[in-house]
Structure 1
Amino acid sequence: MRIRALLTAGLVGLSVLAAHTTATAQQAGDPLSEKQWGLAQLRAPEAWATSTGAGQVIAVVDTGVDLGHPELAGKLVPGATFAGCGERPAPCGNGDWLGVDGVGQPADVHGTHVAGIAAAATGNGIGIAGVAPDARIMPVKALEDGSGSFAEIGAGVRWAADNGANVINLSLGAIPGAQLLTLIGLTPETKDAIAYAREKGVVVVASAGNETAPLCGTPAWEAGALCVTATDPAELHSVYSNLGLKLDTKAVAAPGGSSLQGCDGDVWAPVPRGAGSPDCGQSDYDSLAGTSMAAPQVAGVAALLGAQGRDADGIEQALMRSARTPLVGARGLFTPLYGYGIVDAQAAVQQPM
């Protein structure tokens, strides 16, 4: 069984997003930031006066990153490649999305998009603003052509934990029912790697899955991971998103896009240069939807909290206690749709340490 990147198929809709983020001095130089409704939903700009994520490293264990993209090139720490190594010992590369064969698969634009959501360069005159403007990105390629084995992903997680990652983002997942395989120990590699990372004090953030299933998919299901469900621009549970149910109830929600409202109803972020889809009209950027897009929003906020000196337990508690449930207005209230609620960066950085 293989794990795949979590991305919904884009659906054509008739309505477009009406809400925009509030302009800040940092966002003023990012022309696409007016389309980033997710930043407003997270209240990320309001948190930047307190923390920008400086000194934190977010490992993106995914399909690799376009190492030369101007949104990311100046933000990178050394990465590694575990997918597509063949007979070569792993790691066999530096985390570049092109992989060891030098061929960029269409599905492999995913990792660049995820990395940009978490920590794209902000105020640089192009593109978008990252949730954690001053955090750095560690590119770890554990998926090739959008999928990878439990062993490859587990190896990537362990490598990231051993090489300075403070937060690990896993925007990937196996099919519903695979939780049973990890519970009975048939596919332990990723589960054990998450436990290893967590023991080293690394926060692990993972996508819930896009199958409209009741349980968080694996690896979000695992005890050491924080499961992230997706919301749309109206703060409603996204139609494709799995629920936030898991044994330890460690789950929250974050902007993942609608998949029903056109380009501006989904999540804008960089993709490998020249790989943007014609539908959304940007060469180096694209708008995608999925719990894949929700997880790095939370990873970015985790970096904001880590930069304040909080440990992994403190980061998770701050995220869950300050999260808000739409309509009822409660904070830190668990529901199947939202977990402990939509992550609120402003409220999280103000939580007592």
Structure 2
Amino acid sequence: MRMRTLITTSVIGLGLLASQATATAAGGDPLSDKQWGLAQIHAPEAWASSTGAGEVIAVVDTGVDLGHPEFAGKLVPGATFACGGGPAPCGDGDWRGADGVGQEPDVHGTHVAGIAAASTGNGTGIAGVAPDARIMPIKALENGSGSFDDIGAGIRYAADHGANVINLSVGALPGTQLLTLLGQESAAKDAIAYARERGVVVVASAGNETSPLCDTPAWEEGALCVAATDANEMHAVYSNLGVSPDAKAVSAPGGSSLGDCDADVWSAVPRGTGSPECGQGDYDALAGTSMAAPQVAGVAALLGAQGRDADGVERALMDTARTPILGTRGMFDPIYGYGVVDAAAAATQPL
């Protein structure tokens, strides 16, 4: 069993432990035949309607390998907020951080960014959900850890510097929702509200604790909570359910964490960091709701490029999502939320 794929981290806000929610495509990408997630969300069929051109997806995470070939010509200026208590920002969003050292848990942000918007049809690696969208790298975690203040600062930076979609593949452990409800922790909550007021779609991973509730920040009003499915479209065994106060939740491919490498989600990792189990140098397979959220962020970019505002993007995502087995669309249930996101159906829904 390959349980290593569910990466856990600490988010230090208020001293509380939290978890980093890790858990057929275009020709010309050698690993595209392994990307069952693209087929599950019908991304290739959506590309006839939109490729995400002109949209910017901010990845607020552990930073991105800025020199990875999957992001050549696709990056907009980012920032680093994991500054060890020093003045921020203190860098450009590179995964190596202010000290120039790449920590093993910090491969996470590159993997997330690749799922959302890796170059497609370039003869290298994988295909991204939104092939022509650009990435804004925001490093808010160092060595897999960070604070709600740093995450909030990253969200605000993204909203102020042109992001159309923000991906948050991070989450506090179950029970932290109570702190935001009581007003004892508000940095991420307030930042999400700030971004949403500026017309930014905020996508956040549900968490990997098999909890009935979306973790914070996916729990917060204004965020779209994303649960994970496996290759058979079943709710992934580790994934939290899509329950939050405003019931804004969907599902997307996150991998199984229990099978072989190809049962998980392939994407880019910092060059040379692919794992011994299944890594291919610059690529690796991981599983978690962290991998599910950027699938949805990519689809959000496809829809935003069609001229939909944030409300319209969310409506299209939820109204066209399908519930496995039942075959219904746009109907909420606590397991799948409104269902598995369907990029093709959403992109052809009238504006």
CA shift, 1:73, in A, is 2.8
Distance in 1, Cα, partners of 2:90 & 2:224: 29
Distance in 2, Cα, partners of 1:296 & 1:3: 19
CA shift, 1:281, in A, is 3.9
Cα deviation code 1:171-222 (max 9, x no counterpart): 0000100000011111100000000000000000000000000000000000
CA contact (8 A) 1:117 1:131 kept: yes
User: Normalising by structure 1, what TM-score?
Assistant: 0.94
Q: SS state of the match for residue 169, structure 1?
A: strand
Question: Which residue of structure 2 aligns with residue 293 of structure 1?
Answer: 291
Tell me if 1:81 matches 2:53.
no
Question: Which residue of structure 2 aligns with residue 64 of structure 1?
Answer: 63
Tell me if 1:247 matches 2:245.
yes
CA contact (8 A) 1:233 1:257 kept: yes
Distance in 1, Cα, partners of 2:170 & 2:17: 10
Cα deviation code 1:136-193 (max 9, x no counterpart): 0000000011121010000000000000000000000001000000111111000000
Distance in 1, Cα, partners of 2:19 & 2:234: 25
Distance in 2, Cα, partners of 1:319 & 1:147: 31
Tell me if 1:36 matches 2:28.
no
Question: Which residue of structure 2 aligns with residue 340 of structure 1?
Answer: 338
Alignment of 1:159-308 (within 5 A): 159-308=157-306
Distance in 1, Cα, partners of 2:71 & 2:109: 12
* One-letter amino acid matched to 1:54: A
CA shift, 1:352, in A, is 1.4
Distance in 2, Cα, partners of 1:4 & 1:231: 19
Distance in 1, Cα, partners of 2:169 & 2:260: 22
Cα deviation code 1:27-68 (max 9, x no counterpart): 211000000000000000000000000000000000000000
* One-letter amino acid matched to 1:82: F
Q: SS state of the match for residue 126, structure 1?
A: coil
CA shift, 1:85, in A, is 4.1
Question: Which residue of structure 2 aligns with residue 6 of structure 1?
Answer: 21
Q: SS state of the match for residue 194, structure 1?
A: helix
CA contact (8 A) 1:266 1:289 kept: yes
Distance in 2, Cα, partners of 1:218 & 1:100: 26
CA contact (8 A) 1:2 1:149 kept: no
RMSD between superposed Cα atoms in Å: 0.8
CA contact (8 A) 2:155 2:195 kept: yes
Question: Which residue of structure 2 aligns with residue 11 of structure 1?
Answer: none
Cα deviation code 1:100-149 (max 9, x no counterpart): 00110000000000000000000000100000000000000000111210
CA contact (8 A) 2:272 2:282 kept: yes
Distance in 2, Cα, partners of 1:271 & 1:74: 17
CA contact (8 A) 1:211 1:242 kept: yes
Structure 1 moving runs of 4+ over 6 Å: none
Q: SS state of the match for residue 67, structure 2?
A: coil
* One-letter amino acid matched to 1:298: V
* One-letter amino acid matched to 2:21: L
* Unpaired stretches in structure 1, ≥5 consecutive residues: 9-20
CA contact (8 A) 2:19 2:207 kept: no
CA shift, 1:262, in A, is 1.1
CA contact (8 A) 1:4 1:143 kept: no
Question: Which residue of structure 2 aligns with residue 115 of structure 1?
Answer: 113
CA contact (8 A) 1:3 1:150 kept: no
CA contact (8 A) 2:60 2:140 kept: yes
Question: Which residue of structure 2 aligns with residue 150 of structure 1?
Answer: 148
Change (3 A) 1:61 1:281: closer
Distance in 2, Cα, partners of 1:119 & 1:7: 17
Alignment of 1:289-328 (within 5 A): 289-328=287-326
CA contact (8 A) 1:85 1:92 kept: no
Distance in 1, Cα, partners of 2:22 & 2:120: 25
CA shift, 1:72, in A, is 1.1
CA shift, 1:74, in A, is 1.8
CA shift, 1:2, in A, is 5.2
Distance in 2, Cα, partners of 1:34 & 1:247: 38
* One-letter amino acid matched to 1:96: D
Change (3 A) 1:188 1:168: same
Q: SS state of the match for residue 185, structure 1?
A: coil
Cα deviation code 1:281-338 (max 9, x no counterpart): 4010000000000000000000000000000000000000000000010000111110
Distance in 2, Cα, partners of 1:114 & 1:62: 8
Cα deviation code 1:2-27 (max 9, x no counterpart): 5442123xxxxxxxxxxxx2x5xxx2
Cα deviation code 1:72-119 (max 9, x no counterpart): 1321000000003432x2111000000000110000000000000000
Q: SS state of the match for residue 168, structure 1?
A: strand
CA contact (8 A) 1:3 1:149 kept: no
The alignment covers a number of residue pairs equal to 336
Q: SS state of the match for residue 75, structure 1?
A: coil
CA contact (8 A) 1:4 1:148 kept: no
Change (3 A) 1:2 1:193: farther
Q: Give aligned-pair identity as a percent.
A: 76
